[in-house]
Structure 1
Amino acid sequence: MTEEIFDIVDENGNPTGDTVSRAQAHEEGIRHRTAHIWVVRDNMGRPEVLLQKRALNKDSFPGRYDTSSAGHIQAGDEPLESAIRELSEELGIKANKDDLEFVGTFPIQYEKEFHGKMFKDNEIAFVYVYQKDVDINKLSIQKEELDSVEWFNLEKVYKACQPPRDEKFCVPMGGLEIVRKYVNEKYQAQGENMSKGMILGMFIGMAIGIALGAATGKMGTNMTMGMCVGMVIGMSVAVAHRNDQEDKDETVKR
């Protein structure tokens, strides 16, 4: 089997022009790059993340739950193409560049003993989010790398990874915090649009109800009905606006 070769990178993740073997990188703690992909979904208004259970033969954190998909970036490769490849190899997800949202980078550095041998990790991780529908029962997982996959509530994972960390997880906090911030900002924006739409719809409904009430002499009934109808219309407008904005975002990405 051909030994993996990585680009040595600076503190910002930029290749220095030198390379290093995988073995040497982890024996000496030489900085290199990795791609981390988080598969995220909405489950009844609550964000969930897909975590992989690492294979027991892994050279670090065997048998623990980790980022959805992650892997080293080979020398000469770019982070995005590596992310696409990792998703395909580990989970069988065939993504293209427009399916992945780049959300940031973070450093990982530690020294820990696994299988009776010291493992030194020093990397810059490039983080991506994948949000298309995923049926875990139809995934083709790479048994050499992972044992299984499972959906977890994002907030519960975040709490479990706070000190003292639940040893069930080995999710890197840097990546988890980046993804949590991205997801929460997205949910907040959606909630604000929904609230604005409902308020606008309520006022429109009240105006319609007042007009109908004045004409029919049933002010209270018509105002209530108008407000309810207006709120429904407002919610529909807000959802339509959100979908339209997502379509525009996809167009910009292309």
Structure 2
Amino acid sequence: MKTKSSAIRELFEELGVHAKAEDFVYCGTRRVVYDGEFCGKLFHDRQVSKVFYLWFDADESAFNIDPAEVDHVLWMNLDACIDGVRHNTFPHCIEMDELEILCSGLKVDFA
């Protein structure tokens, strides 16, 4: 599946983490259609994104973060992430509906 191979490649490029296709658990699909202004310019966005989760239990030293790909990383539990995105308490590019899809895949309540 091309989507999983893209996820595997990006995970390695951005965080230095090796994973296999079977490690990813599909949660759902997010579709975006946006026509509006972005950074002061007219912007047309059409996206279809697959949302997966991956169980990866490792020490922070296992990650090799590429600063050209990732600005910074924060470690937190899911509830703290949802709260932080909802109240915009940390820099992110996460949409609430992505977290809702993730919670559905994890079979946990979306608070």
Question: Which range, TM-score by smaller chain?
Answer: 0.7 to 0.9
Alpha-carbon distance in 1 for matches of 2:29, 2:43: 22
Using the aligned pairs only, state the percent identity: 32
> What are the Cα deviations for residues 32-75 of structure 1, in whole angstroms up to 9, with x where unaligned?
xxxxxxxxxxxxxxxxxxxxxxxxxxxxxxxxxxxxxxxxxxxx
* Structure 1 counterpart of 2:49: 125
Is contact 1:107-1:174 (8 Å) kept? no
**3-state SS of paired residue (1:149):** coil
Pairwise CA RMSD: 2.4
Is contact 1:84-1:96 (8 Å) kept? yes
Deviation at 1:160, TM superposition (A): 3.3
Larger Rg belongs to:
1
CA 1:90 to 1:133, structure 2 compared with 1: closer, same or farther past 3 Å?
A: same
Deviation at 1:186, TM superposition (A): 6.3
- Unaligned runs of 5+ residues in structure 2 are none
What TM-score do the two structures reach when normalised by structure 1?
Answer: 0.37
Q: Give the helix-richer structure, 1 or 2.
A: 1
Alpha-carbon distance in 2 for matches of 1:121, 1:139: 31
* Structure 2 counterpart of 1:157: 81
Amino acid at match of 1:154: L
1:90 and 2:11 are equivalent in the alignment: no
1:172 and 2:103 are equivalent in the alignment: no
Alpha-carbon distance in 1 for matches of 2:83, 2:55: 22
Amino acid at match of 1:166: N
Matches within 5 A, 1:85-234: 85-110=9-34, 111-114=36-39, 116-162=40-86, 165-166=87-88, 168=90, 169-183=92-106, 185=107
Amino acid at match of 1:175: E
**3-state SS of paired residue (2:58):** coil
Alpha-carbon distance in 2 for matches of 1:91, 1:156: 21
Instruction: Between the two structures, name the one with larger relative contact order (CA 8 Å, sep ≥ 6).
Output: 2
Is contact 1:136-1:149 (8 Å) kept? no
Deviation at 1:119, TM superposition (A): 4.0
Deviation at 1:148, TM superposition (A): 1.8
> What are the Cα deviations for residues 79-102 of structure 1, in whole angstroms up to 9, with x where unaligned?
111111111111111101111111
